[in-house]
């Protein structure tokens, strides 16, 4: 359901009223959420609090924010965190080059006085970054702060302040306040323990790997046109892979990739040869590759097809 | 609305149970829980469970505790056999004075005698530094602990991606230059510089507390405590037959209380040793998540391993790749300069270790503290 642009008041009023409604809405957007995740998102929407999604890699933490934005008519504003990110990249920055040119132009035409300086700090020269955009958009946006665990402590402290009030004061312009807070979704891969204060501010939900049945459903929704029999075999194999002690266990995204690859190659089952050929879609580490190759037979056992 | 009020009381009692079980749940969280239940269906058990999990729990490790308390409170489930026994250990800390003033006869000149006493004190302390922990008397051990409490462990530094203004920096700070030049009609009169900030590397201490290390383990724990106080990002783990993280327990201002808490969280004091399995657990549960990325890992163990050496070899290899430097502190090394690892564990681990030190006495620990900042 491709819905873009800012929503209006009527679309916000169509916010799901029960957990079941929200689950349906997400399903229509192509995302299968389990009861826990749907409840967590529903509570976040009702209480207008940010939600922190932690989980393994590739289980759909980022995806859920995208689908939520698309299905509820909100704009998706994405802030990708990395080490060393600061307010200039996250909040706003002045367009210095333009300002200098403007100064030159003003001084050439010998325009002086109050108005000249004010013009220099007008909205034309303000480069809005994701957080400021989100504050301006208010509840017409879903703010996705991706991989917050890659940012450092200073950024977390700054973010905490923002998430509490949702107002930003720019000295030259004034205070910008959001009437209603946007839905904020933070994702983390747990490479680092987040600060307690930030965790307290947010609701917390852990997304684990889905059970086999659900994973089959997810793959069938995300990769339509793929035969169900193949999907079942691949999901069984992936679940066995996750039991092995891999450095990078495959996530749901890898399962979908593997199924798509096999389908593209025209395979209808998962024999050892087919698995060996397409292993790169699901195992991404050298050590893991060696380990998996040793156990290839038992991983694909029961998943092969009769005949050559 | 008596029904609502009694429901809130139920939720409050549940929150109190959670706190008794060790979760840190605040009143704000309880308020959020009540608001969430107001939006959901209070008679639905699943909603009750998930809403509580989302609002009251903030860490993944607390989830099993939450599950258990929920089952006990709302479902009236029986207590499973608890692995954890909560004992309250009373530690009587005697505060002895270091200075021993000998009884002087009245009228005697205290000057020279005092000097002699002080001289003795100094040499006592010196002797204490080189006395192996195993050979210390309890009084000497107490003295050692006091000295150790003042040790400052500083990990080495690394440059980060953040920059700060510095007049002697190497990259120009365009933002500041332009800002300042706005005052001068756009002429960049002065060029400002910035420099990348320097930060301490994380320090990870992994202490062996098994039977063979009995004489040294408590001192190493004290050492870890002072390290925790001194440096910014320190993680402390203990292992015997299995690995336990004691960083949070050591986060206490009073050292005796911190050590007491740490001692309570670990269960296999002076039991057997499985170095390989414990290090493997460390790599799998913590290392892969990036805890030791760019950090210094200090393993304090004697290398007497009862497990499979292959497991130890793989774990050490992985650990080496994940961290910046690996330091092994072996109390049996002693002062022997050309120490050849004699235990199988040491032999297996030695190729993956960047620095091998001894940790048998105070002097060696001070050496470690001195060497640490220079590792890079």
Query: Which tens digits make up the pLDDT trace of A28-53?
Result: 998 999 999 999 999 999 998 999 99
pLDDT of B55 strictly over 80: yes
What local confidence, expressed as pLDDT, does residue B3 receive? 67
Name the most confidently modeled range: B7-21, B186-200, B277-291, B334-348.
B7-21
- Residue B126 pLDDT class (50, 70, 90 cuts): low
Q: Which of B39-48, B141-150, B347-356 is predicted least confidently?
A: B141-150
Name the most confidently modeled range: B57-66, B111-120, B244-253.
B57-66
What local confidence, expressed as pLDDT, does residue A14 receive? 67
**Domain residue extents for chain B:** 2-74, 161-199, 203-374
Instruction: Compute the count of residue pairs across chains A and B with CB atoms less than 8 Å apart.
Output: 92
* CATH fit for domain A9-84+129-207, picks 3.40.980.20, 2.70.240.10, 3.40.50.2000, 3.40.50.300: 3.40.50.300
What local confidence, expressed as pLDDT, does residue B127 receive? 67
* Segment B29-43 mean pLDDT: 89
Q: Is B289 within 8 Å of A40 when comparing Cβ atoms?
A: no
Q: Which of A186-195, B114-123, B326-335 is predicted least confidently?
A: B114-123
Residues of B in contact with A199 (CB under 8 A): 58-59
At A106-116, the pLDDT tens digits run 777 766 666 66
Q: Is B58 within 8 Å of A199 when comparing Cβ atoms?
A: yes
pLDDT of B120 strictly over 60: no
- Residue A4 pLDDT class (50, 70, 90 cuts): very low
Q: Is B39 within 8 Å of A42 when comparing Cβ atoms?
A: yes
* Segment B325-348 mean pLDDT: 77
Q: Which residue of A has its CA nearest to B161?
A: A84
pLDDT of A300 strictly over 70: yes
What local confidence, expressed as pLDDT, does residue B270 receive? 65
Residues of B in contact with A204 (CB under 8 A): 54, 57-59
What local confidence, expressed as pLDDT, does residue B189 receive? 73
A96 reaches B (C-beta below 8 A): yes
pLDDT of B107 strictly over 80: no
Contact B305, B240 (CB under 8 A): no
* Segment B131-150 mean pLDDT: 71
Residues of A in contact with B54 (CB under 8 A): 36, 39-40, 43-44, 51, 203-205
pLDDT of B96 strictly over 50: no
Q: Is B182 within 8 Å of A154 when comparing Cβ atoms?
A: no
Q: Which residue of A has its CA nearest to B174?
A: A96
What local confidence, expressed as pLDDT, does residue B82 receive? 41
What local confidence, expressed as pLDDT, does residue B259 receive? 73
| CA distance to partner chain A, nearest, from residue B91 (Å) | 30
A40 reaches B (C-beta below 8 A): yes
Nearest residue, CB atoms, B50 vs list A40, A49, A104? A40
Give me the percent of chain A exceeding a pLDDT of 90.
37
ipTM: 0.78
Fold that domain B203-374 belongs to in CATH: Rossmann fold (3.40.50)
What local confidence, expressed as pLDDT, does residue A232 receive? 92
**CA angle at B107 for the pair B106 and B109, rounded to the nearest 5°:** 115
- Threshold 0.90, pTM exceeds: no
Q: Which residue of A has its CA nearest to B290?
A: A191
At A133-153, the pLDDT tens digits run 999 998 899 999 999 988 888
pLDDT of A201 strictly over 70: yes
Q: What rounded mean pLDDT belongs to chain B?
A: 76
Name the most confidently modeled range: A13-27, A195-209, A289-303.
A195-209
Q: Which residue of A has its CA nearest to B196?
A: A84
- Which residues of B touch chain A, with CB atoms under 8 Å apart? 26, 28-29, 32, 35-36, 39-41, 46-47, 50-51, 53-55, 57-60, 63, 160-162, 174-175, 178-179, 181-182, 185-186, 284, 288-291, 293
Nearest residue, CB atoms, A103 vs list B59, B186, B289? B186
Q: Is A191 within 8 Å of B284 when comparing Cβ atoms?
A: no
């Amino acid at each position: 359901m491709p819905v873009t642009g800012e929503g209006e008041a009527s679309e916000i009023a169509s916010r799901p009223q029960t957990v079941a409604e929200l689950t349906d809405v997400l399903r229509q957007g192509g995302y299968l959420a389990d009861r826990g995740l749907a409840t967590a998102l529903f509570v976040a929407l009702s209480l207008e609090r940010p939600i922190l999604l932690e989980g393994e890699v590739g289980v759909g933490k980022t995806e859920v924010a995208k689908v939520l934005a698309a299905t509820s008519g909100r704009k998706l504003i994405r802030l990708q965190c990395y080490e060393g990110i600061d307010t200039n990249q996250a909040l706003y920055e002045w367009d210095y080059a333009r300002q200098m040119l403007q100064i030159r132009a003003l001084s050439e035409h010998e325009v002086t006085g109050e108005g000249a300086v004010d013009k220099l700090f007008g909205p034309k020269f303000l480069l809005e970054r994701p957080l400021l955009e989100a504050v301006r958009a208010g509840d017409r946006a879903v703010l996705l702060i991706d991989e917050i665990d890659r940012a450092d402590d200073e950024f977390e402290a700054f973010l905490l302040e923002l998430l509490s009030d949702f107002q930003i004061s720019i000295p030259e312009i004034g205070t910008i306040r959001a009437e209603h807070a946007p839905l904020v979704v933070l994702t983390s891969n747990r490479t680092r323990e987040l600060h307690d204060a930030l965790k307290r501010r947010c609701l917390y939900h852990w997304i684990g790997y889905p059970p086999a049945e659900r994973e089959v459903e997810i793959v069938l929704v995300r990769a339509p046109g793929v035969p169900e029999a193949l999907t079942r075999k691949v999901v069984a194999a992936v679940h066995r892979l996750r039991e092995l002690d891999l450095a990078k266990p495959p996530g749901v995204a890898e399962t979908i990739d593997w199924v798509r690859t096999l389908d593209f190659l025209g395979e209808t089952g998962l024999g050892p040869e087919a698995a060996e050929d397409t292993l790169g879609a699901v195992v991404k580490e050298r050590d893991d590759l060696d380990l998996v190759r040793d156990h290839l037979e038992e991983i694909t056992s029961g998943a092969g097809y009769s005949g050559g | 609305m008596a029904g609502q009020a009694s429901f809130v009381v139920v939720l409050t009692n549940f929150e109190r149970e959670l706190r008794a079980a060790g979760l840190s749940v605040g009143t704000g969280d309880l308020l959020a829980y009540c608001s969430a239940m107001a939006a959901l269906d209070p008679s639905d058990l699943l909603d009750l469970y998930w809403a509580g999990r989302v609002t009251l729990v903030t860490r993944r490790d607390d989830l099993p505790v939450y599950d258990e308390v929920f089952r006990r409170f709302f479902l009236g489930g029986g207590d499973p056999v608890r692995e954890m026994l909560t004992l309250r250990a009373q530690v009587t800390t005697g505060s002895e004075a270091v200075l021993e003033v000998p009884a002087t006869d009245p009228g005697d000149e205290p000057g020279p005698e005092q000097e002699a006493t002080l001289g003795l004190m100094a040499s006592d302390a010196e002797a204490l530094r080189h006395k192996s922990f195993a050979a210390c008397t309890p009084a000497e051990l107490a003295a050692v602990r006091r000295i150790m409490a003042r040790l400052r462990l500083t990990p080495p530094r690394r440059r980060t991606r953040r920059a700060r203004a510095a007049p002697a920096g190497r990259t120009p700070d365009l933002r500041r230059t332009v800002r300042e030049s706005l005052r001068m009609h756009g002429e960049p009169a002065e060029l400002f510089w910035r420099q990348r900030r320097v930060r301490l590397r994380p320090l990870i201490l992994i202490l062996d507390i098994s039977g063979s290390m009995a004489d040294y383990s408590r001192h190493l724990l004290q050492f870890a405590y002072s390290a925790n106080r001194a440096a910014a990002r320190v993680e402390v783990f203990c292992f015997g037959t299995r690995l336990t993280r004691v960083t949070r327990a050591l986060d206490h201002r009073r050292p005796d209380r911190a050590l007491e808490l740490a001692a309570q969280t670990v269960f296999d004091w002076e039991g057997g040793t499985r170095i390989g399995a414990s290090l493997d657990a460390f790599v799998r549960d913590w290392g892969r998540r990036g805890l030791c990325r760019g950090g210094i890992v200090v393993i304090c163990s004697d290398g007497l391993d009862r497990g499979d050496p292959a497991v130890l070899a793989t774990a050490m290899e992985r650990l080496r790749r994940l961290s910046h430097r690996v330091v092994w502190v072996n109390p049996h090394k002693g002062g022997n300069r050309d120490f050849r690892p004699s235990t199988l564990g040491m032999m297996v681990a030695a190729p993956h270790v960047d620095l091998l030190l001894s940790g048998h006495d105070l002097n060696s620990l001070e050496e470690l503290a001195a060497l640490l900042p220079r590792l890079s």
